[in-house]
Structure formats: structure tokens, C-alpha cells
Amino acid sequence: MEIIKERRKCTKCDVGVLDTRVPRSLFIKLFFFWLPLKRYRCSSCWKKTYIWGSAWIEKNNLVSV
């Protein structure tokens, strides 16, 4: 069994991947600093979205021999 890491797909366009980190707003930094909210930009539609945790997804790759 092999674990593969992939970037998350964009929640708005479902085509691009969330690859570029964008600074969070001042409001989020001041009042929700303790939450693992991160802001990313899509590589194709350039829209920004917040993600809970990391932009990486771990998938199990089952290899049969």
C-alpha cells in the first residue's frame, strides 16, 4: 500500500488545483487565529477560497501483485 499526496481541486470550478497561499484577512487573523483556516488561490479560475487544514490530500494507492 502506497500513500500518494495530491493537491485539492478548486471548490468553485472543479478544474484547477489550489496551489498558491494567499494572506488571510485581518479579521480572520485577529479573531480566528486559533483555527487552522488557510486561504488558497485556484490555478485556473484564480478565485480564492478558505480551507480547513492543508491543501494536500492523502490517498491510499492499493497495488495488487
pLDDT on residue 30: 92
In the block, cell 472543479 appears at 14
Q: Determine how many CB atoms are found less than 10 A away from the CB of residue 40.
A: 22
Residue-by-residue pLDDT tens, the chain, 65 positions: 677 777 888 888 888 888 888 898 899 889 988 988 889 999 889 999 888 887 777 777 666 55
Q: Quick one: which of 52, 53, 54, 55 has its CA closest to 9?
A: 55
pTM of the model: 0.72
Helix, strand, or coil (residue 26): helix
Rounded alpha-carbon distances, angstroms, from residue 56 to 26, 27, 62: 25, 25, 19
Q: Which cell numbers in the block locate residue 4? A: 500518494
DSSP state of 34: T
